[in-house]
Amino acid sequence: MKLKIVAAGIAALFAVGVAHADITVGVVVSATGPAASLGIPEKNTVALLPQTIGGQKVNYIVLDDASDTTTAVKDIRKLITENKVDVVVGSTITPNSLAMIDVAAESETPMVSMAASARIVDPGNPKVKWVFKTPQNDIQMSTAIVESMLNSKVQTVAFIGFSDAYGEGWYQEFSKIADARKLKIVANERYNRSDTSVTGQVLKILAAKPDAVLIAGAGTPAALPQKALKEKGYGGRFYQTHGVANMDFLRVCGKDCEGTLLPAGPVLVAAQLPDSNPIKKVAMDYVGKYEAAQGKGSVSTFGAHAWDAGILLQNAIPVALKKAQPGTREFRVALRDALEGLKNVTVSHGVVNMSAQDHLGFDQRARVMVRVENGAWKLTQ
């Protein structure tokens, strides 16, 4: 009898031991606050990620940082100290991701950010050894816009962007490339996401008479300057950034956005990609799963960044499992090494080839130019 109890006790211990060997993925998203339109699809996508990787059960713990930097840091600390996560995915926006880098590096936990700025994976910062990201760099997108402008003989361009890190970052990248390619920026304006009027900025742009206008905003607020410019009779070309790539933007902007050009990840026009493109299959798979869960037309490119983080983990975790058990420092180190070693991994936004110098790993296949036609996204070229 005693023996049985001891055996049961040992079995129970083993059960606990096995439970500890589960892989724990901490996720920080901005599901409320100003970045909610990006964070909500990411949160919805996490629910679609596989429950087992490499034969091990995966637990996802999702925390909301309310688009607030302090909360993001608190969240990642909680995930690491209380939940003992093996890897952190997040956060949605650049300021939060930058703040989380210190905690990730100090605790030696790999982190996969879903925010856009190239600074998050700046190879000059030694802490970035632990940090990876899935969205394209702004510079890749800016190059595509400048190319497209030059191809259609645009010589002068006006810039209007959010008066925050997003608009500022875009202006820096865009002005650098525009300067190099002899494209003249004749106006540089800012507005707030919550502004109810951009009349002042629009009048200044009109007075400068640019051939094209680039609007650097994210989500539906990016429609405001375009609608105001159209209303005041501006007839030039419009460029938007990939921050607007969701259906709500088309709904709010309506016919004022016809003909607008923007660079975006291929997942936005997945169905229109040629069958020979390997990205098409992965992107269609994501679109199908997301729309099955959230309804038709609900998919956006933002959620796809979370999906791509999931794909990176599905490729890296089996490699790391060969070296160490989840829940240990050795596993986190092995996972980091595996992430850095990923080669030719097709994700919904492109093809990833990581290296010690490049923790994003995208090439030109990660962006396409898209035009708004009849209230839908249309692949150009």
Partner 1 sequence: MDLQIALLLGQDGIVNGAIYALLALALVLVFAVTRVIFIPQGEFVAFGALTLASIQDGKTPGTLWLVLGLSAVVAVVEIVVAARNGLLRRLAGALWWNIAYPIAVAGVIFVAEPQSWPLALQVVLALGLVVPLGPAVYRLAYQPLASASVLVLLIVSVAVHLTLVGLGLLFFGAEGSRTPAFSDASFDWGGVAVTGQTIWVVGASAALMIGLYFFFGRSLWGKALRATAINRVGARLMGISTTQAGKLSFLLAAAIGALSGILIAPITTIYYDTGFIIGLKGFVAAIVGGLASYPVAAAGAILVGLLESFSSFWASAFKEVIVFTLIIPVLVWRSLASRHVEDEE
Interaction between residue 220 and partner 1 (CB under 8 A): yes
C-alpha distances (whole Å) from 352 to each of 44, 92, 279 are 23, 20, 11
What number of chain residues touch partner 1 (CB under 8 A)?
A: 31
Nearer of residues 159 and 239 to partner 1, judged by Cβ: 159
Give the contact letters, 181-210, x = binds to partner 1 (CB under 8 A), - = no: --------xxxx-xxxxxxxx-xx--x---
**Rounded least distance, CB 374 to partner 1, Å:** 19
**Rounded least distance, CB 260 to partner 1, Å:** 16
Mutual orientation of helices 94-106 and 165-180 as an angle, nearest 10°? 100
8 Å CB contact between 166 and 240: no
Nearer of residues 213 and 366 to partner 1, judged by Cβ: 213
Residues 6 or more apart in contact with residue 188 via CB below 8 angstroms: 158, 159, 171, 175
**Rounded least distance, CB 132 to partner 1, Å:** 26
Residues 6 or more apart in contact with residue 198 via CB below 8 angstroms: 160, 191, 224, 225, 228
Q: Is 274 exposed, middle or buried (0-12, 13-18, 19+ CB in 10 A)?
A: exposed
**Rounded least distance, CB 298 to partner 1, Å:** 11
Give the contact letters, 235-254, x = binds to partner 1 (CB under 8 A), - = no: -----------x-x--xx--
Give the contact letters, 31-70, x = binds to partner 1 (CB under 8 A), - = no: -x-x-xx-xx------------------------------
Q: 269: closest CA among 381, 345, 136, 116?
A: 381
Nearer of residues 44 and 109 to partner 1, judged by Cβ: 44
Site residues (CB under 8 A) for partner 1?
A: 32, 34, 36-37, 39-40, 163, 189-192, 194-201, 203-204, 207, 219-221, 223-224, 246, 248, 251-252
